[in-house]
């Protein structure tokens, strides 16, 4: 653990407070604008989207199986679990946390009966998602998994960080254009992924241990 002086700790805490306040402000703004954004970006032709390779690729970044495959590839390459374990744990836990929150604070997806729901958000009673988890969207587990995996990879592939950030964002957008999620769902899911990516950011690898 890096030692921080009292002044450095205060500076770090101020930075965290400002970041949290900014996040809360953006979340509040998106929550208010969600219905307008959902109607603006929604593409009704779901079958047409599914046939597009770029859409399928973006959506797949939020699928846990692809990150399990990347985990295995990293382990076979490195022969140690430093990087592979970080990718696996970050994506799995981020996805589980997002799925759990959906059931604790259940909010319906934008789409309702093949169209964007009228009015504002439709909330259910807290924890009722454990009884009926159909059509829940807050937060996006796809976004959580995609951001967790991409940002862990970016931590040890810094030259590819812009590409990886782009893939994570593309995954979030792919969930919005089909009406599966509001913008605020993606923001919260992305924040969950970012947190666990930071938590499981791998240590510097001893290259001498890699065969």
**Residues forming a β-bridge with 111:** 116
Mean pLDDT of the 115-135 span: 87
Task: Give the long-range contacts of residues 106-109, CB within 8 A, separation 24 or more.
Answer: 106/133, 106/136, 106/138, 107/136, 107/137, 107/138, 107/185, 108/135, 108/136, 108/137, 109/135, 109/136, 109/137, 109/179, 109/180, 109/181, 109/182
Instruction: Answer yes or no: are the C-beta atoms of 37 and 175 closer than 8 Å.
Output: no
Instruction: Answer yes or no: are the C-beta atoms of 129 and 104 closer than 8 Å.
Output: yes
Instruction: Answer yes or no: are the C-beta atoms of 140 and 172 closer than 8 Å.
Output: yes
Instruction: Answer yes or no: are the C-beta atoms of 40 and 165 closer than 8 Å.
Output: no
Task: Check whether 210 has a pLDDT greater than 70.
Answer: no
Task: Check whether 208 has a pLDDT greater than 70.
Answer: no
Query: Within 10 Å of residue 125's Cβ, how many Cβ atoms?
Result: 8
pLDDT band, very low/low/confident/very high, at 202 (cuts 50, 70, 90): low
- Tell me the per-residue pLDDT of 126-145, one tens digit each, with 9 for 90 and over: 998 898 888 898 999 999 99
Instruction: Give 30's Cβ-side CA count (13 Å radius).
Output: 17
Enumerate residues 6+ apart whose C-beta is below 8 A from 15. none
Distance of CA 27 to the CA centre of its chain: 14
Residue 115: cis peptide before it, omega within 30 degrees of 0: no
User: What pLDDT score does 2 carry?
Assistant: 55
Report residue 78 as tokens: 């490195």
- Tell me the per-residue pLDDT of 147-173, one tens digit each, with 9 for 90 and over: 999 999 999 888 999 999 999 999 999
| Domain range summary for the chain, segments of one domain joined by + | 14-209
Mean pLDDT of the 108-123 span: 83
Report residue 152 as tokens: 């862990």
**Domain 14-209 belongs to what architecture?**
Up-down Bundle (1.20)
In the chain, % helix, strand, coil (3-state, to 5) comes to: 70, 5, 25
- The 10 Å CB-count burial string (b at 16+, else e) for 148-157 is bbbbbbbbbe
Instruction: Give 157's Cβ-side CA count (13 Å radius).
Output: 15
What whole-number distance in Å separates Cα of residue 123 and Cα of residue 138? 10
Mean pLDDT of the 178-199 span: 93
């Amino acid at each position: 653990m890096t030692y921080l002086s009292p002044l450095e700790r205060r500076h770090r805490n101020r930075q965290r407070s400002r970041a949290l306040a900014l996040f809360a402000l953006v979340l509040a703004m998106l929550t208010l604008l969600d219905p307008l954004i959902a109607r603006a970006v929604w593409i009704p032709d779901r079958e047409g989207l599914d046939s597009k390779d770029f859409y399928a690729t973006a959506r797949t970044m939020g699928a846990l199986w692809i990150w399990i495959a990347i985990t295995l590839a990293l382990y076979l390459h490195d022969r140690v679990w430093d990087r592979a374990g970080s990718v696996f744990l970050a994506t799995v836990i981020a996805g589980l946390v997002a799925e759990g929150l959906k059931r604790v604070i259940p909010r319906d997806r934008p789409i309702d009966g093949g169209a964007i729901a009228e009015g504002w958000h439709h909330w259910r009673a807290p924890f009722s998602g454990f009884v009926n988890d159909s059509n829940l969207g807050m937060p996006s587990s796809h976004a959580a998994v995609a951001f967790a995996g991409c940002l862990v990879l970016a931590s040890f592939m810094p030259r590819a960080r812009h590409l990886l950030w782009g893939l994570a964002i593309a995954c979030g957008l792919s969930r919005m254009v089909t009406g599966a999620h509001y913008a605020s769902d993606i923001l919260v899911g992305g924040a969950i992924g970012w947190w666990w990516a930071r938590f499981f950011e791998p240590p510097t690898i001893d290259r001498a241990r890699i065969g």
